[in-house]
Amino acid sequence: MAEGFLPVCRQDMEERGWDTVDFVYVSGDAYVDHPSFGPAIITRVLEAHGYRVGIIAQPDWKDEKSITEYGEPRLGFLVSAGNMDSMVNHYSVSKKRRRTDAFSPGGVMGKRPDYAACVYGNLIRRVYKHTPVILGGIEASLRRLAHYDYWSDRLKRSVLLDSGADLISYGMGERSIIEIAEALDSGIQVKDLTFIPGTVYKTKSTDSVYDAIRLPSYEELKEDRLSYARSFYIQYSNTDPYSGKTLVEPYGEHLFVVQNPPQRQLTETEMDEIYGYPYMRTFHPSYQKEGGIPAVSEVRFSLISSRGCFGGCSFCALTFHQGRIVQTRSHASLLAEAEKMTREKDFKGYIHDVGGPTADFRHPSCEEQLKRGVCKNRQCLFPKPCRNLDADHQDYIELLRKLKNLPGVKKVFIRSGIRFDYVLADSGDAFLRELCEHHVSGQLKVAPEHVSDQVLRKMGKPESGVYKKFVKKYKEMNQKLQKDQYLVPYLMSSHPGSSLKEAVELAEYVRDLGYMPEQVQDFYPTPSTLSTCMYYTGVDPRDMTPVYVPKSPHEKAMQRALIQYRDPKNYDLVLEALKKSGRMDLVGYGRNCLIRPKQKKAPEEGRTQGSSRDPKKTGKKKKTIRNIHSKKDRRH
């Protein structure tokens, strides 16, 4: 592979001696060649297999010429909205436009369109009528079948249909993109690529689709939200490469979207190879004059050690995107990357993170997963750890110790989060000791999310007693080590299942904690999560039982305000919430009260038109004026 960045313009292509490229990669992000960025991995994988790739980062979607930089590619266009769903990137949970975009030069907002995968796909299709267009990245992956779209508040069709694309490569995509490339290179038409795992295609007939589950039609889903809940749970239960079935979603009588089963997980050797490519590990130098790409600073001195998560949080899309089987890199691969990191001029001796979706998951949850896949209707940690769970941190401990002892490394932090219930499931305290002694920077961030067991069940999180047990053990370990370190809990408001009653319960917990969280996550209904399905349908798709869903912006504001009840700006919302929930016992002067009663304004006596002000205040003011004049006199 040639060293340096991949081509970003025709001149770069020609300087390499190419007259054309095999693939043009169109991305909603600025071009960053770092393995924490999906576009960088996919383009490097293609390059490693001998394909010529040109990058078009953040094209002007209003100008058709913006995607003609290299002319027509030999094999096709690859399209990604970027590292985030473009709508999450653009809007807060209150649907207000964000001010900055960490994946754009200088953090400037507005460099990509809303629903970027669709917009880019249609832009390309207008110019190149017959060139294959393949969607990838998290936006396309999580919108691959009919999905609830929070921003338009309606059920939308598969992004494949609305984008004009031919194929979706869902999930992480390294395997499927090479199979797609090799098939196109061999002369197979894109319309005939119906056999590749990890892809979604459209067809007018299902005669050649075998052993498939037929989902309700799009028309049925729009008419009946319960039908959507059942359909979604079928999808959720078929995200495993071992047991996942082909899914068929009809659109009318003569159009079908077909999802093939997921690609199998990567081996350790394959993970090492992918993360060992010659990434430049930073943004393209053309962005330097605009201030660079802010997102790079978050990952530049961090290590990705794993993929996949068997945590099973309802509000997380990882099950749909990376799957539940944990895949890891070898110690040798991570140490080699860390050594490169220490040679960078800005490295100060601190590795900011070593982890993945969940930092302390370093192997599959049990041996059975590598033989039969994950259990379809059971979780590894929820509601309680499975009896077959292999909760062993020894490999992670050894990795952290090796990294800590590298020349030039002062400290290794863990910031991507640990599962406290998994830590407790480990029979020993070796990891907790290692964590507290060497890898916490005064505060450890953990995610209990809530304290109400009713809400926690909907979240797929352990009951509150588990977190309390972890808090106790963490405190005892720090006392034993004579360290003054704290826990910072992530909390979420307005999740399905949380009424004002549960929100008040969370506020009381915060009161007893003794501090006000600066940041509170209001539940965000992003595509293809269990929690979003609950939000849209009003039922839990796992058992079809009704779920209370706080939807009105005002109630959501009250729930959020309760967690930050100490902020004076939230007083009126907190008071209203306490009245509505029948908890006025929390308004008063007692130690358990959240807020004090509103002070009544004293009546203004003797205030008639033309009456003089308070003589004391007037005298004070006159004195001030007199002093000012005397100073002026002295100056002149």
pLDDT digits (tens, 9 = 90+) for 165-201: 999 999 999 999 999 999 999 999 999 999 999 999 9
CA 110 to chain centre: 20
First to last CA, the chain: 78
The residue among 376, 406, 440 that closes a domain is 440
Relative to beta strand 256-259, strand 167-169 is: unpaired
> Do both 370 and 434 map to the same domain?
yes
Q: What is the pLDDT of residues 208-241, one digit of tens each?
A: 999 999 999 999 999 999 999 999 999 999 999 9
pLDDT value at position 2? 62
Whether the predicted pLDDT of 461 surpasses 60: yes
> Do both 504 and 412 map to the same domain?
no
Residue 416 sits in a domain whose CATH number is 3.30.750.210
Which structural domain range is residue 549 located in? 489-598
pLDDT value at position 355? 92
Tell me if residue 259 falls in helix, strand or coil. Answer: strand
Residue 89 lies in a domain: yes
Distance CA(81)–CA(120), nearest Å, equals: 8
Mean pLDDT of the chain: 92
Whether the predicted pLDDT of 26 surpasses 90: yes
> Do both 410 and 507 map to the same domain?
no
Q: Confidence band (pLDDT; 50, 70, 90) for 614? A: very low
> Do both 32 and 158 map to the same domain?
yes
The residue among 150, 165, 191 that closes a domain is 191
Whether the predicted pLDDT of 454 surpasses 60: yes
Listed range (4-13, 192-201, 399-408, 505-514) with the worst mean pLDDT: 505-514
Here the tokens at position 118 are 């669709």
* Number of structural domains found in the chain: 3
CA 402 to chain centre: 29
pLDDT value at position 612? 41
Whether the predicted pLDDT of 138 surpasses 60: yes
> Do both 20 and 79 map to the same domain?
yes
DSSP state at residue 14 = H
> Do both 368 and 505 map to the same domain?
no
pLDDT value at position 278? 95
pLDDT value at position 602? 52
> Do both 428 and 523 map to the same domain?
no
pLDDT value at position 367? 87
> Do both 27 and 162 map to the same domain?
yes
Residue 217 lies in a domain: no
Contact 47, 1 (CB under 8 A): yes
> Do both 390 and 509 map to the same domain?
no
> Do both 23 and 152 map to the same domain?
yes
| pTM score | 0.91
Q: What is the pLDDT of residues 382-393, one digit of tens each?
A: 999 999 999 999
Here the tokens at position 338 are 């860390």
Contact 177, 46 (CB under 8 A): yes
Q: 24 CB contacts (<8 Å, ≥6 apart)?
A: 53, 54, 55, 56, 67, 69, 70, 73, 76, 77, 78
pLDDT value at position 617? 44
Torsion of CA 384, 386, 392, 395, to 10 degrees: -110
Indicate the helix (H) or strand (E) that contains 169: strand 167-169
pLDDT value at position 132? 98
Distance CA(80)–CA(224), nearest Å, equals: 31
Distance CA(217)–CA(219), nearest Å, equals: 5
Residue 130 sits in a domain whose CATH number is 3.40.50.2300
Q: Confidence band (pLDDT; 50, 70, 90) for 516? A: confident
The residue among 191, 220, 250 that closes a domain is 191
Q: How many CB atoms lie within 10 A of CB 543?
A: 7
